[in-house]
Chains A and B, each alone.
Chain A
Amino acid sequence: MNRLSIFVAACAAVAAVGISTYPAAAADGAISGTVKYDGTAPAPKKVDITKDKEVCGLKPHFDESLIVGHDGGIANAVVILKGAKGELKPQNVEFNQKGCDYQPHVLVFPAGSTVDIINSDGILHNIHTYSKINPPFNMAQPKFKKKIEEKVEKPEVIRVTCDAHGWMKGWWIATDTPYYAVTDANGNYTIKDIPPGDYTVQVWQEKLGTQDQKVDVKGGATATANFSLKPKG
């Protein structure tokens, strides 16, 4: 081996070490904030239970399309780092049909994950997805079928309904980024383990649409991104 080739090999080794260690060392930033409703909070709208009352009628049902909590915080809004790259770790997430409601109402997961659709009610539900990118399906889930597993391969916002119980409406959000969160009852969220950098944070709410915000995340620090969503139209 001549001198030149030793030099080249050494450079390559240094470069390889440098590349492999760079991101791991830095993914310790975070973003947190609150998603608020810019308007008068709508009064909870009760939904009439017209079917299978012995199971579905045990508790009152409300329209879940816009739930505003204390201080105007919006529940079930989805916050993602738009287009942020990172390793997607597919997982098994649970989507429970309980008391003729979807729990959770909005389910977020990285694309490639498997949704475990649970029927806790012991009556016939059917799970009907209105997807366009992933293949849509409409599966009956009778009493004897406790669990259906459904893999969602591609990123998409998917509306989910039960045709047997018209009021049951939910959402699956398969993301193309590992950085996402859903707001809690008061509209708060936190996304952790973010490598430092400039990002676009996007919030999505089923009735209010999307909103973007630029955020600079510094290593080891928590950046803030608050949103205020106006009623549409």
Chain B
Amino acid sequence: MAGRPGLDPGEESKSYSALFVLIVALLLVVSVWSIWDDNISRRPWKEYQVEFDKLAYNKYMSDAAAEQKTLDANPDYVKLVKQLDIARRQLSSGETAAKLAALKSQAVALKVASDEKEQAVRFTKSYLTEAWYDYNHAIQTKADPSGYKNEIDQLNRELAGENKESDAAKAALQRVKDEIDALNSQVDTVTDKLKTMTKKRDDLIDKADGFMIPIKFAGRVILRYPKIPKIQQTAIDDFDRNAFDEAIARVDRCQSCHMGIDKRGFENAPQPFRTHSNYDAIIGKHPPDKLGCTPCHEGQGPAVNSIAMAHGDVEHWEHPMLTGDQMQSRCIKCHIDVGSLRNKAGDQIAVNWVRGERLFQQMGCTGCHLAAGYEDLPKIGPYLKLASAKLDPSWTVRWITNPHLFHPHTRMPNFMFTRAQATSIAAYILSSSAKNSGLWLKAHPQPPTLETDIANPAFIEEGKGLFESVGCKACHSIEPNQIGTPVGDNSHFVPTAMRTTKDFAPNLAGIGEKTNARWVYTWLKNPRDFSPHTAMPSLRLSDHEAEALTAFLMTHGKKKEDPGVEAALNDPANVKAGESLVRKYGCFGCHEVEGMDKESRIGVELTAFGSKHIDEMFFGDRTDIPPTWNAWSFNKLQNPRIYATKDVEQLMPNFDFQKTDIDNLLVFLASRTDAKVPERYRAHGTDRQEQIVDGRQLVNFYNCVGCHIIENRGGYIRRFYSEDEINFAPPILNGEGMKVQPNWLFTFLQGPTPIRPWLKIRMPTFHFTNHEDDTVVNYFTALSDVQVPYEFLNVNLIAPDTLQAGAKLMTKDYFNCFSCHQQGDKKPEGPPSGWAPDLAMAHERLNPQWILLWLKNPQAVQPGTKMPSFYPGGPDDILGGNEPAQIKAIRDYIFWFGIHPDRSLAAQVANVAPAKPVKKNRKRGS
């Protein structure tokens, strides 16, 4: 309306359509862009899925094609295809075709007729229901029901007739159908046969169809389209706990890109599509649809927007994805006995974790650091409450200053003390132990002959022989720069390198510099007389042997007195300073130190070290070390005081670990987390697994593997035996739990008695407590997973003919067992390298069931053994050639003569003879 005040006619008549179009266009563009962004550019996983669908489709189709080729090469298949073709052609041409067509049209007509009859029956039934209603209604209303009764009767008659007709019509239809089936029967049976034959191919095609969905027309695929991408997600209920300790679910979407991870056949596909490695042990036992991926791999499970996000390589995500060996740190979350986890080939899965754990125990980390599950490990260092009876003062100062200069491989770390500090510590150690040392020396007087004997070359020579043969070399090396038993990885062992493999026991190359002959002699006689908890066993040496060995050892190294040391060590100020240094640096973590029994560990608790957040880690002034758990920990272990600053002191000593050992320790440390996995996700734990874990700790402490191969590891002393004399080496203990009786093993460990008296090497006495002894026995029993108690043998119930057969089989004409086996006091012929244990001991030592396995195939029980196998191929003239019976007879006879060494077999047979026919009858009857 023109003329209204304030209205501008020019403005009113202006057109905004251009602007409107522009804005609409902009809106359209933005809408398209937002849809595009939301569905495509911010969904990179979709591309992966499309790519994988193509990959999988092509793979299954080419597998199907390959399968088709195999089928084509199979004459049975070709024959069936031909048969089917012929049968089909017969049906579609000539007389049969005409007949079939006629039958089919007949069937259609009959079907109509039959349906009509059926319909009539149904209608009549309805009328009948109506009539019955009327009838009942009439009775209730007191009307006359007879009319209805008649109707009912009439309808029933009709129904009977109709039923008959309907049945006849159905039968007619069935006849025609049967005829059609008969004509088709050949095609059908051949088709069925072909289907079973082509099942593999058809399954592959079905699988392929699942990835590229086919559109079919007239039985042919005319088009395929890829699946619509979808997030693949596993929710693991109640797996985690939030800050309020409430159970929360964990969500993993890893399989949105890693599509082939749980499918076999993509082992060589490019990532992220590759099949999981170690498929049977990992995917087979940890289904990803139940357990997801991040419980083992970590990373940011729900993230799918980029690789870095998904793998957790982003700021503020606390658990980046683990790679390679680091994954082994997660097994302990659900498994008690990680060391026994093995893959299909029987190899240990968590190798690095196991090595790390062993290092953690054997290097004495628990001396300073509390760690749940490792609280009660014994102290690994020498006993210092009697130090002044043992140590040379000058050496002690040098040693404390830097032990690695004296023994590069020692387990003792370098505290980087100044010489003054070392002198103070030595002063405290020596003076605090002086009083008790005096008493100890009084109680252990030096043998009067020792001084002259150790200078006697004959003694030195004899001692050398003992050192070489009696078993010292299982733990100790006497060559400078060599190791006895490696702690940690020795595959990268370089003798002169600064960082090196650690040695389980002291290298003895410089023992004369460190201590004196009197102490060595007394120590060798019984180490526990000096140090009540030492791992060093007693070798039950005679006085003479101990003197000879002392003589030999004392030729290694000479005392070097540093001037002024004596005076400095006696200075009370030094003693006092030493005491506070010992307290500060926690020497009592590994050593028993006078007056320090009640001190607690000085280091940080490591129970949940693996869960430690980067913010809690102190980097000091170091800006060159990446802010990750791994980098911090690696550098800490390589150079423990790396994060010290001017005002923050660090005390941890340097172990000079080599890189591989640090890596393994990190795998173990990363496994110390505070995560509590709910029971239902954990592997079922058993007492036996706990027994194995406990046993391994003991094996680690006492270094049983110095001599023995246990769980396929160790036997380090075997390297000193030539191929011809390997039989003289300590026994391999794989399968020991199955082999020996637990009672025997327990008694043997308490006080070993020789099984092969001709050996120079001795099983030492470890002075195990009952608890330790039980732990070892349970360990072996659990490792072999045997039934305890065994099925024992009552030798008095063995039939005499069995005994006779057993005795005969062992004679010279047959297996000639005593050609190698000792028989009581009677030694076998030939040199001892061919001798074998006294069979009279078997009954109290060996598991009767094990003997059967052993006789059947010794190589299977202990590969490489000199015991030959006698079976298959036992003699035909004993026990009717029945091999199991022969093996049993030998075993029974061995037990019998072991238990009755004084009884003759003839007398035994005469004694029991009357029972013989009864037994035979019973046998015949059964």
Q: Does B94 contact A (CB under 8 A)?
A: no
Of the listed stretches B512-520, B590-598, B865-873, chain A binds B865-873
Is there an interface contact between A144 and B813, defined as CB atoms closer than 8 Å?
Answer: yes
Residues of A within 8 A of B812 (CB): 123-124, 143
Q: Does B440 contact A (CB under 8 A)?
A: no
Of the listed stretches A107-115, A158-166, A182-190, chain B binds A158-166
Is there an interface contact between A138 and B869, defined as CB atoms closer than 8 Å?
Answer: yes
Among A127, A145, A164: residue with most chain B CB under 10 A: A164
Is there an interface contact between B834 and A145, defined as CB atoms closer than 8 Å?
Answer: no
Of the listed stretches B201-209, B642-650, B790-798, B825-833, chain A binds B825-833
Q: Does B859 contact A (CB under 8 A)?
A: yes
For window 832-886 of B, CB contacts with A under 8 Å fall at 833-834, 858-859, 863-870, 873, 875, 877
Residues of A within 8 A of B816 (CB): 123-124, 142, 164
Residue of A nearest to B820 (CB): A164
Bound-state CA distance A144–B814 (Å) is 7
If A50-B829, A50-B831, A138-B859 touch, whether A124 touches B819 (CB-CB below 8 Å) is yes
Residues of A within 8 A of B813 (CB): 142-144
Q: In the assembled complex, how far is the CB of residue B285 from the closest CB belonging to chain A, in whole angstroms?
A: 30
For window 88-144 of A, CB contacts with B under 8 Å fall at 123-124, 126-128, 136-140, 142-144
Q: Does A52 contact B (CB under 8 A)?
A: yes
Residues of B within 8 A of A145 (CB): 873
Residues of B within 8 A of A140 (CB): 815, 868-870
Is there an interface contact between B866 and A163, defined as CB atoms closer than 8 Å?
Answer: yes
Is there an interface contact between B834 and A137, defined as CB atoms closer than 8 Å?
Answer: no
Bound-state CA distance A9–B68 (Å) is 29
Is there an interface contact between B829 and A148, defined as CB atoms closer than 8 Å?
Answer: no
Residues of A within 8 A of B599 (CB): none
Bound-state CA distance A145–B813 (Å) is 10
Residues of B within 8 A of A51 (CB): 819, 828-830, 834
Is there an interface contact between A136 and B859, defined as CB atoms closer than 8 Å?
Answer: yes
Is there an interface contact between B830 and A136, defined as CB atoms closer than 8 Å?
Answer: no
Is there an interface contact between B858 and A138, defined as CB atoms closer than 8 Å?
Answer: yes
Q: Does B724 contact A (CB under 8 A)?
A: yes
Is there an interface contact between A139 and B830, defined as CB atoms closer than 8 Å?
Answer: no
Interface residue tally for chain A (C-beta within 8 Å): 22
Interface of B, secondary structure class, is loop
Is there an interface contact between A52 and B870, defined as CB atoms closer than 8 Å?
Answer: no
Bound-state CA distance A148–B872 (Å) is 11
Bound-state CA distance A120–B816 (Å) is 16
If A51-B830, A166-B830, A166-B831 touch, whether A137 touches B870 (CB-CB below 8 Å) is no
For window 31-84 of A, CB contacts with B under 8 Å fall at 50-52
Residues of B within 8 A of A143 (CB): 812-814
Residues of A within 8 A of B868 (CB): 126-128, 138-140, 163
Residues of A within 8 A of B859 (CB): 136-138
Is there an interface contact between A50 and B815, defined as CB atoms closer than 8 Å?
Answer: no
Q: In the assembled complex, how far is the CB of residue A164 from the closest CB belonging to chain B, in whole angstroms?
A: 5
- Identify B814's interface contact among A50, A142, A164, CB under 8 A: A142
Residues of B within 8 A of A164 (CB): 816, 819-820, 830, 834
Residue of A nearest to B829 (CB): A51
Residue of A nearest to B727 (CB): A163
Bound-state CA distance A135–B868 (Å) is 14
Bound-state CA distance A51–B2 (Å) is 139
Is there an interface contact between A166 and B833, defined as CB atoms closer than 8 Å?
Answer: yes
Is there an interface contact between A128 and B866, defined as CB atoms closer than 8 Å?
Answer: yes
Residue of B nearest to A135 (CB): B859
- Identify B820's interface contact among A50, A139, A163, CB under 8 A: A163
Residue of A nearest to B878 (CB): A144
If A136-B864, A139-B868, A140-B870 touch, whether A124 touches B829 (CB-CB below 8 Å) is no
Bound-state CA distance A148–B874 (Å) is 12
Residue of B nearest to A143 (CB): B813
Bound-state CA distance A48–B819 (Å) is 17
Q: In the assembled complex, how far is the CB of residue B835 from the closest CB belonging to chain A, in whole angstroms?
A: 10
Q: In the assembled complex, how far is the CB of residue A215 from the closest CB belonging to chain B, in whole angstroms?
A: 35
Bound-state CA distance A124–B830 (Å) is 14
Bound-state CA distance A51–B667 (Å) is 56
Residues of B within 8 A of A142 (CB): 813-816, 870, 875
Bound-state CA distance A137–B873 (Å) is 14
Residues of A within 8 A of B870 (CB): 139-140, 142
Q: In the assembled complex, how far is the CB of residue B583 from the closest CB belonging to chain A, in whole angstroms?
A: 58
Residues of B within 8 A of A166 (CB): 724, 830-831, 833-834
Residue of A nearest to B723 (CB): A130
Is there an interface contact between B815 and A138, defined as CB atoms closer than 8 Å?
Answer: no
If A50-B831, A124-B812 touch, whether A139 touches B869 (CB-CB below 8 Å) is yes
Bound-state CA distance A138–B854 (Å) is 13
Bound-state CA distance A139–B864 (Å) is 12
Is there an interface contact between B829 and A52, defined as CB atoms closer than 8 Å?
Answer: yes
Residues of A within 8 A of B867 (CB): 138
Bound-state CA distance A113–B234 (Å) is 57
Q: In the assembled complex, how far is the CB of residue B84 from the closest CB belonging to chain A, in whole angstroms?
A: 32
Bound-state CA distance A63–B833 (Å) is 18
Residues of B within 8 A of A138 (CB): 858-859, 865-869
Residues of A within 8 A of B820 (CB): 163-164
Bound-state CA distance A138–B727 (Å) is 15
Bound-state CA distance A128–B813 (Å) is 20
Residues of A within 8 A of B864 (CB): 136
Is there an interface contact between B815 and A124, defined as CB atoms closer than 8 Å?
Answer: yes
Residues of A within 8 A of B873 (CB): 139, 145, 148
Is there an interface contact between B869 and A137, defined as CB atoms closer than 8 Å?
Answer: yes
Bound-state CA distance A52–B816 (Å) is 11
Q: In the assembled complex, how far is the CB of residue A122 from the closest CB belonging to chain B, in whole angstroms?
A: 9
Q: In the assembled complex, how far is the CB of residue B392 from the closest CB belonging to chain A, in whole angstroms?
A: 42
Residues of A within 8 A of B877 (CB): 144
Bound-state CA distance A18–B815 (Å) is 59
Q: In the assembled complex, how far is the CB of residue A84 from the closest CB belonging to chain B, in whole angstroms?
A: 32
Residue of B nearest to A122 (CB): B813
Residue of A nearest to B875 (CB): A144
Bound-state CA distance A145–B816 (Å) is 13
Residues of A within 8 A of B869 (CB): 137-140
Bound-state CA distance A68–B813 (Å) is 38
Among B819, B834, B859, B870: residue with most chain A CB under 10 A: B819
Q: In the assembled complex, how far is the CB of residue B815 from the closest CB belonging to chain A, in whole angstroms?
A: 5
Residues of B within 8 A of A52 (CB): 819, 829
Bound-state CA distance A126–B873 (Å) is 13
Bound-state CA distance A189–B829 (Å) is 40
Residues of B within 8 A of A126 (CB): 868
Residues of A within 8 A of B828 (CB): 51
Residues of A within 8 A of B875 (CB): 142, 144
Q: In the assembled complex, how far is the CB of residue B721 from the closest CB belonging to chain A, in whole angstroms?
A: 15
Bound-state CA distance A52–B834 (Å) is 13
Residue of B nearest to A165 (CB): B830
Bound-state CA distance A194–B34 (Å) is 80
Bound-state CA distance A142–B818 (Å) is 13
Residues of B within 8 A of A148 (CB): 873
Bound-state CA distance A149–B546 (Å) is 53
Residues of B within 8 A of A128 (CB): 866, 868
Residues of A within 8 A of B830 (CB): 50-51, 164-166
Bound-state CA distance A137–B412 (Å) is 46
Bound-state CA distance A142–B867 (Å) is 13
If A137-B869, A138-B858 touch, whether A163 touches B815 (CB-CB below 8 Å) is no
Q: In the assembled complex, how far is the CB of residue B903 from the closest CB belonging to chain A, in whole angstroms?
A: 26
Bound-state CA distance A143–B868 (Å) is 14
Nearest 6 pairs of A and B residues by beta carbon: A126-B868, A51-B830, A124-B816, A140-B868, A51-B829, A163-B866
* Known interface pairs A136-B859, A143-B812; 19 further A-B residue pairs with C-beta atoms within 8 A, sorted by A's residue number: A50-B830, A52-B819, A52-B829, A128-B868, A137-B869, A138-B866, A138-B867, A139-B868, A139-B869, A139-B870, A140-B815, A140-B869, A144-B877, A163-B820, A163-B834, A164-B816, A165-B834, A166-B724, A166-B830
A–B Cβ pairs within 8 angstroms, 6 of them: A50-B830, A126-B868, A142-B875, A148-B873, A164-B820, A166-B831
Taking beta carbons and an 8 Å cutoff, which residues of A are in contact with B? Answer: 50-52, 123-124, 126-128, 136-140, 142-145, 148, 163-166
